[in-house]
Amino acid sequence: MKFNSDEIASVIQKEIEQFSTHIDVRDVGRVLEVGDGIAQVYGLSGVMAGEMVEFASGVRGLAFNLEENSVGVIILGDYLNINEGEEVRSTGTLLSVPVGDELLGRVVDPLGNPLDGKGPIVTSKRRPVEVIAAGVSERQPVHEPLQTGIKAIDAMTPIGRGQRELIIGDRKTGKTAIAIDAIINQRDSGVKCFYVAIGQKESTVAGVIERLRETGAMDYTTVIVAGASAPAPLQYVAPYSGTAMAEEYMFNGGHALVVYDDLSKQAVAYRELSLLMRRPPGREAFPGDVFYCHSRLLERSCKLSAALGGGSITSLPIIETLEGEVSAYIPTNVISITDGQIYLQPDLFFAGVKPAMNAGISVSRVGGAAQIKAMKKVAGGLRLDLAAFRELEAFAQLGTELDPATQARLDRGYRMVELLKQGQYRPLNVIDQVLVIFAGTRGYLDKLPTDRVAEWEDKFLKFMSDQKSEIRKELAEKKDLDDALTAKIRAAIDEFNTQFVGVTEHATVTV
Amino acid sequence: MSDSVTQHFAQESVFDVDVEKLAKVYAQAGLNSAGDSQAQQSLMDELNAVVTEVLNKFPDLEKVFASVLVSNDDKLGILDRVFANQLSANSLNFLKVIARHGRLGVLRQIIRNANALWTIRKNQVAVTLEFAHPVEESLQKEMIERLAKKLAAEPLVTVKINPELIGGFVVRTGDRVLDASTRSNLERARQAMIARAVEMIQQRPEQFYQESGA
């Protein structure tokens, strides 16, 4: 291939013909000091908060601190090329990022520049990174479910489209895994996904991208990366950029899912910026407006009213706690902003309960409104039952004699815990979830040894899809359980149980 | 006036935002205490003379003013001995107040800020006119007249010749820059050409490539 220089020449010629000279009016300032991703600028008296400024070297920045005699600018780019005394000009525009379908399947930095080596992103559409969230009259209550494909979550802490559900837990408790599973499960739902990686190791992010690619989830996902080596300003801006990209779908009647992984690192980046700007530190040295930093971000996730197209942004912010300390500053802030939290506990994780969700303190404030009717019926009291089981279990460990009713409750609990375990990257269809949870909560597994629950589940689902596909079809159509359908499911489970036990006994005899 | 301002700058190598803030407060207080505009003008003349005739010529004195090893009382004594017969009571009082507050070290900055404030009060504005090459006197005069009308103030013009502009002119007033130079026009044209070419290539890449064998 060779470049066609004639074509280029004609484009340039046209541009020159159209070029008109005019006087360039600009407000300027001079760099007083620069370092650690921020610059102090003298002058720029007309600049507005949040306005983009441009350094003489071409690097862009954001007016962050307006002081009496100087302006604090956060630098979005390479600050090592900026010198003291350099001219800075205001641009009169706000920071914006490219948006649209062209971004799907791409890995970009928080300014929308591609990082995946797949060439430029050709889109003329842009959206401002910081916008004010939709008001009360522009919204409607959350009512459509966003299926994560994870039994424990869809049954006990359901997430609706437009909801903000926090995933909180210590390091290495499977927080990212839940978010990735939720993304993978959106394959057929038409929900566009945005994974915002903030302050993470680049190798971890590469692993996540690879996993999304393998499962085909990259077709509808954009990954926004501000890794651990990215300067603090980019880490701070990343979640807002991701939301701006998702808003393009929401405001056009579509649905989007944004994962912020994780907001504690963003808070740390914001603290770094604020301290460098000499803003007064508050609790845990965070600036006073760190709550606003998160609330204005998460308020942008919502379900728009039907008049505005009914689009939505669902967000899954992730917060990492230290030693299970949920009452630290940032966790309490984000817990109070979001519509519920999924709390992951290390001891459950190490005991092999994955996802390691603590049913007792995990909640979804949207609740049953975000579930299909069938799920609401089968999983109604599941969360409370499981929480009660955990208490009972602790009590039973004391070795006291238990009455048969308590023992039965314990047995049911052990089996439900087994049933809610789920492998990573294996999201389950909501119909299958309803079937297995129905079997569990209605006591069909009570006689089964706990170590065979997983096997039972696999075989049962296979049996249902192979031999009883009409039941699955009916359930998928109705999305509700009426008496007739319930009877059919009961009969199917009984039939399968006879087979399953028969096979087991046969296997035992032959051994 | 603008010459003396330039001289103040020439002596300073460090620009401290906090000191500027402080100096502004003293400058404002000094000017306000002087009284009517005539008294303010004479205060400014005397203060500028302190910089040009004393501080610039005797840098050691400035070091003494800035030193913490010399007590405020000693500094007051120095002020009395050096300036008592030279300055009006008003100006000397101002210097003494500064000395009593231990701020003689930033005297230069205070006077510079007072100059800037006095310029604003006189409805004057410092303007730098940059040309690529010397221009006719009449044209320059016309430009200054137009600027005066546009700014609604009396421009204090400093003319600079900067061949890097290639052609046209650049006007600077405070933080505002009016750039009508050939250099920036060419730069804008360059950026526009690059942006346009890249956009076209991205939209229709096939049009811009041809088979190497063809």
Q: What is the pLDDT of residues A293-305, one digit of tens each?
A: 999 999 999 999 9
Model confidence at A368, pLDDT cuts 50, 70, 90, reads: confident
Check whether A49 has a pLDDT greater than 60.
yes
How far, in Å, are A81, A189, A268, A414 from residue A204 at the CA level?
A: 29, 27, 19, 34
> Cβ distance B131 to B144 under 8 Å?
no
Percent of chain B at pLDDT > 90 equals 49
Q: Which amino acid is present at B182?
A: T
Distance CA A289, CA B95 (A): 43
Residue A506 has pLDDT above 60, yes or no: no
Of the pLDDT bands very low, low, confident and very high (cuts 50, 70, 90), residue B70 is very high
| Cα angle value A109/A115/A120 (rounded, 5°) | 100
On chain A, the residues whose CB falls within 8 A of the CB of B130 are none
pLDDT for A165 equals 97
pLDDT digits (tens, 9 = 90+) for A394-417: 888 877 778 888 888 899 999 999
B204 reaches A (C-beta below 8 A): no
Q: How far apart are CA B87 and CA B90, in angstroms?
A: 8
Q: Looking at chain B from residue 87 to 126, which residues have their Cβ under 8 Å from any Cβ of chain A?
A: none
Give which of B9, B14, B16, B17 to mutate to test A binding, by max A Cβ within 10 Å.
B17
- Chain B partners within 8 Å of A1 (Cβ): 209-212
Would the pLDDT of A95 be above 60? yes
Q: State both tokens at A49.
A: 């908060």
How far is it, in rounded angstroms, from Cα A274 to Cα A266? 12
What pLDDT score does A470 carry? 93
What is the residue-averaged pLDDT of chain A?
Answer: 92
| pLDDT higher than 60, residue A511 | no
Mean pLDDT within B79-107 = 92
pLDDT at residue B210 above 80?
A: no
Q: Mark out the alpha helices in A251-366 (DSSP H runs).
A: 263-276, 290-298, 329-337, 346-350
> Is the CB of residue B151 less than 8 Å away from at least one CB of chain A?
no
Give CA A378 to chain center in angstroms: 27
Nearest chain B residue to A19 by CA distance is B189
CB atoms within 10 A of CB A47: 24
Contact (CB<8Å) B176/A8: no
What is the pLDDT, as a whole number, of residue A433?
95
Based on the number of CB atoms within 10 Å of its own CB, is A511 exposed (0-12), middle (13-18) or buried (19 or more)?
Answer: exposed
What are the distances in angstroms from CA A494 to CA A420, A435, A444, A505?
21, 13, 8, 16
Of A365, A390, A452, A490, which is the active-site residue?
A: A365
Report the residue from B175, B179, B200 with minimal CB separation from A23.
Answer: B179
User: Which residue stretches of A172-231 are H helix?
Assistant: 175-184, 202-214
Q: ipTM score here?
A: 0.73
Q: Which residues contact B17 (CB under 8 A, 6 or more apart)?
A: A32, A40, A42, A67, A69, A70
pLDDT of B14 above 90 = no
Closest CA to A358 of A347, A349, A345: A345
d(CA A318, CA B35) in angstroms, rounded, equals 64
Q: Say if the Cβ atoms of A68 and B210 lie within 8 Å.
A: no
Identify from A17, A25, A40 which residue to disrupt to test chain B contact, counting B C-beta atoms within 10 A and taking the largest count.
A25
Tokens standing for residue A168: 């909180």
What element of type H or E holds B181? strand B176-181
Query: Which stretch of DSSP H or E encloses residue A27?
Result: strand A24-35
Q: pLDDT per residue over A254-278, tens digit each?
A: 999 999 999 999 999 999 999 999 9
- Phi then psi for residue A5, to 5 deg, are -70, -25
Please report how many Cα atoms fall inside a 13 Å half-sphere around the Cα of residue A468, on the Cβ side: 24
| Residue A487 in this model has a pLDDT that exceeds 50 | yes
- Residues of chain A positioned with their CB less than 8 A from the CB of B210: 1-4
Instruction: Return the structure tokens found at A198.
Output: 């903030």
- To the query of whether residue A365 is one of the catalytic residues in this protein, the response is yes
Distance from CA of A418 to the nearest CA of B (A): 54
What's the pLDDT at A14?
82
Tell me if A29 and B175 make a contact (CB, 8 A cut-off): yes
Per DSSP, B152 falls in state T
